[in-house]
Chains A and B, each alone.
Chain A
Amino acid sequence: MASNSKTLRSPLQVARGLGSAKHGTEHWWSQRLTAIALVPLTVWFVFGVIGHLGADHAGFIAWMKSPFSAVMMVLTAVVVFHHAQSGLQVVIEDYVHVEWQKMALIIGVKFLSFALAAACVLAVVKIFIGA
């Protein structure tokens, strides 16, 4: 250990490169990166939804058969769920202080988020390549 008098390495030398010193800003940065991406994606999504409010199933399928729309919808779903799970993680970390409950909630939120994102992607892909 750093406090062991038999080593010449200082406590700082032992601590360097451990813990948040490696990835301190990673979570913060990915939250901001997805936030920036969601500005244009949200604008596209809102216009798209308004444009297809009265559409029947065929109209919706035609919309998702456009490569641009399909790519934008996949991006929207993936980035939305990535942003949501990272935001919910911070909320859970702030308010849940029993360790196992905190871990269980974070794991649950992350698994559910990525499962739902996968479901959205598969839905868009199915429509896009479907007959």
Chain B
Amino acid sequence: MANGSGRPLSPHLQVYKLPLTAVMSITHRITGVGLAVGTLLLVWWLVAAAAGPEAFARAQGFIGSFFGLLLMFGWSAALYYHLCNGIRHLVWDAGKSFELTDADRNNKVVLGATAVLTVLTWIVGLAVW
């Protein structure tokens, strides 16, 4: 090994291509932070509804704008990713699915479920809107 000790090195992030499992791990954290920031929109929505019809219409107007819908799309995709990958983390916490073959399969399950749920939500959402 490069450090001469024969011990394993931790990956050098600038030159090491992260495997999908690692990318999904850091994505879980990034979506978590994004969702935390996105809660500001939830607070605005609820407080506006409590404040009255005009404030609520302003909040709804922003959410329904192009920028608002773009935010909502990102937020919903992040929410589904964090939800699906979070369930996967709970499975890991239970001590299961640590084999590489399980990890590779579950990468695809989480990504697939996120995509399907996000697209389905927007199809239904835009249909009833």
Q: Which residues does chain A contribute within 8 Å of B52, judged by CB atoms?
A: 57
Query: Which of A50, A87, A88, A119 interacts with B47 by CB under 8 Å?
Result: A119
Whose C-beta in chain A lies nearest to the C-beta of B93?
A32
Count of chain A residues with a beta carbon within 8 Å of a chain B beta carbon: 34
How many Å from the CB of A78 to the closest CB on chain B? 12
* Residue ID in chain A nearest B117 by CB atoms: A46
Which A residues have a C-beta under 8 Å from some C-beta of B?
32, 35-36, 38-39, 42, 46, 50-51, 53-54, 56-58, 60-61, 64, 73, 77, 80-81, 84, 87-88, 91, 116, 119-120, 122-124, 126-127, 130
Q: Count CB-based A-B contacts (< 8 Å).
A: 77
A128 CB to closest chain B CB, in angstroms? 10
Count B interface residues, CB 8 Å.
30
Chain A positions within 8 Å of B47 at CB level: 119-120, 123
Give the shortest distance, in Å, between A20 (CB) and chain B (any CB). 19
**Contact B79 A42, beta carbon cutoff 8 Å:** yes
Find chain A residues with CB under 8 A from B89 CB.
35
Q: Is the CB of B49 within 8 A of A46?
A: no
